[in-house]
């Protein structure tokens, strides 16, 4: 067990094309849900888990997002500027690496939303399960049946020892990735600052048996398009 990460990377540079027309005048991170922007949902979760500093990458409507983030006091915000070139998730991490330090970090997408159900928060549980000696990445996963806004066939199988296995050519898998993980920055060393997916980082960790899964207890909402946002709004209202 390790101390909960005090630093995080929040992926907010995407174009948000699936969220149109809500992203015609703003980035996806600034789309609102339940009276809060998507990025504030995630930053609040990170602050509650003890994160003191969050690196946020920006591209689409970058000036507007930076102005919004200036209003926050916790966690402290550092900007990784991708105005000149959108680098995807892996390239975004590679560019931000000098800001991320040497200790394990949370990495989070801004379209991942949940309400805490248990006595221990999902992020603190994730941190408690992370073992840097055995793991390069620990992914927060959820049963596909316990989701809203996710209509895919599933991403992973969970082995008995907690290691993950990709769905591969199989028709379905029981667990979906929630868009939140703990990553050890050592895996970013030497990676090129160019567009590529985090999947390439995961592939290396999977081959080495160093990527694990932690199952979420809370109901997970993937707020990736206007229909999912509306459904999430309805669920938040009905459970309030």
Alpha carbon 202 to its chain's center: 14
Give dist(CA 80, CA 136) in Å, integer: 23
Q: What is the pTM of this model?
A: 0.95
Q: Are 54 and 77 spatial neighbours (Cβ–Cβ below 8 Å)?
A: yes
Give dist(CA 183, CA 138) in Å, integer: 7
User: Hey, what are 202's tokens?
Assistant: 């995961």
Q: What is the mean pLDDT of each run of 10 residues along the chain (240 residues)?
A: 84 95 96 97 96 97 97 95 96 97 97 89 96 97 95 94 94 96 96 96 96 97 96 88
What integer pLDDT is reported at residue 118 of this predicted model? 76
What integer pLDDT is reported at residue 60 of this predicted model? 92
What integer pLDDT is reported at residue 70 of this predicted model? 96
What integer pLDDT is reported at residue 1 of this predicted model? 46
User: Hey, what are 153's tokens?
Assistant: 């066939």
Give dist(CA 153, CA 156) in Å, integer: 10
What integer pLDDT is reported at residue 2 of this predicted model? 58
What integer pLDDT is reported at residue 240 of this predicted model? 61
């Amino acid at each position: 067990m390790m101390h909960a990460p005090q630093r995080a990377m929040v992926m907010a540079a995407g174009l948000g094309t699936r969220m149109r027309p809500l992203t015609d005048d703003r980035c996806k991170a600034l789309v609102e849900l339940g009276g809060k922007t998507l990025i504030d949902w995630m930053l609040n979760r990170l602050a509650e888990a003890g994160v003191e500093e969050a690196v946020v990458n920006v591209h689409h409507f970058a000036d507007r997002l930076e102005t919004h983030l200036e209003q926050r006091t916790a966690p402290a915000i550092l900007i990784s500027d991708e105005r000149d070139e959108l680098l995807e998730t892996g390239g975004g991490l590679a560019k931000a690496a000098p800001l991320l330090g040497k200790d394990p970090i949370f990495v989070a997408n801004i379209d991942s939303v949940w309400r805490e159900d248990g006595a221990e928060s999902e992020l603190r549980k994730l941190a408690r399960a992370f073992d840097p000696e055995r793991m390069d990445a620990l992914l927060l996963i959820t049963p596909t049946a316990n989701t809203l806004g996710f209509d895919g066939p599933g991403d992973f199988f969970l082995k008995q020892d907690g290691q993950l296995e990709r769905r591969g050519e199989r028709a379905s898998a029981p667990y979906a990735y929630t868009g939140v993980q703990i990553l050890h920055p050592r895996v970013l060393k030497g990676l090129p600052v160019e567009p590529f997916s985090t999947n390439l980082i995961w592939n290396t960790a999977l081959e080495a048996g160093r990527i694990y899964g932690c199952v979420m207890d809370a109901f997970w909402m993937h707020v990736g398009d206007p229909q999912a946002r509306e459904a999430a709004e309805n669920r938040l209202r009905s459970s309030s």
